[in-house]
Amino acid sequence: MKITDLKCAVLGSHPVVRITTDEGISGLGQVAGRKHYLKPHILFYKDFIVGEDPTDVERVMMRIRKGGSFKPWGSAVSAIEMALWDIAGKAAGLPVYKLLGGKIRDKVRVYNGAVRFPMDGNSPEAHAANMKKMKASPEGFTIIKQGIAFHSGMPNEVPDYFYGEVQTGRFARTGGALTERGLKYTIDCVQAMKEGLGDEVGLALDCGPGMTVPDAIRLAQAVEPLNVMWLEDTITGDYVPYVLAEIYREVTRSTSTPIHTGEQIYLRQNFRDLIEKRAVDIIGPDPGDIGGIAELKWVAEYADLHGILMAPHGIFIGLIGLAALVQVSATLPQNYIAFECPIGDPKWWYDIVEGLPDPIVEDGFITVWDTPGMGVELNGEAARQYLPEGDEDFFD
Query: Rounded mean pLDDT of 40-50?
Result: 98
Sorted by where each starts, the structural domains of the chain and their CATH numbers stand as 3-93+378-386 (3.30.390.10), 98-372 (3.20.20.120)
Q: Is the pLDDT of residue 171 over 90?
A: no
Spatial CB neighbours of 297, under 8 Å, sequence gap ≥ 6: 100, 101, 328, 331, 332
Q: Kindly give the residue spans of alpha helices, DSSP state H, lying in 258-364.
A: 272-276, 293-305, 318-329, 349-352
Q: Is the pLDDT of residue 227 over 90?
A: yes
What percentage of the chain reaches a pLDDT higher than 70?
A: 100
Residue 367: pLDDT band (50, 70, 90) is very high
Question: Distance between CA atoms of 50 and 380, rounded to whole angstroms?
Answer: 23
pTM tops 0.95? yes
For 306-345, write each residue's pLDDT tens digit.
999 999 999 999 999 999 999 999 999 999 999 999 999 9
Query: Rounded mean pLDDT of 151-162?
Result: 96
Residue 1 and residue 55 in contact, taking contact as beta carbons nearer than 8 Å: yes
Question: Distance between CA atoms of 360 and 162, rounded to whole angstroms?
Answer: 40
What region does 61 belong to: left with phi over 0, alpha with psi -120 to 50, or beta?
A: alpha
**Pairing label, strands 14-21, 26-30:** antiparallel
What is the secondary structure of 259-290 as a DSSP string?
EEE-TT--SGGGGHHHHHTT--SEE---TTTT
Q: Which helix (H) or strand (E) holds 118?
A: none
Query: Rounded mean pLDDT of 149-177?
Result: 94
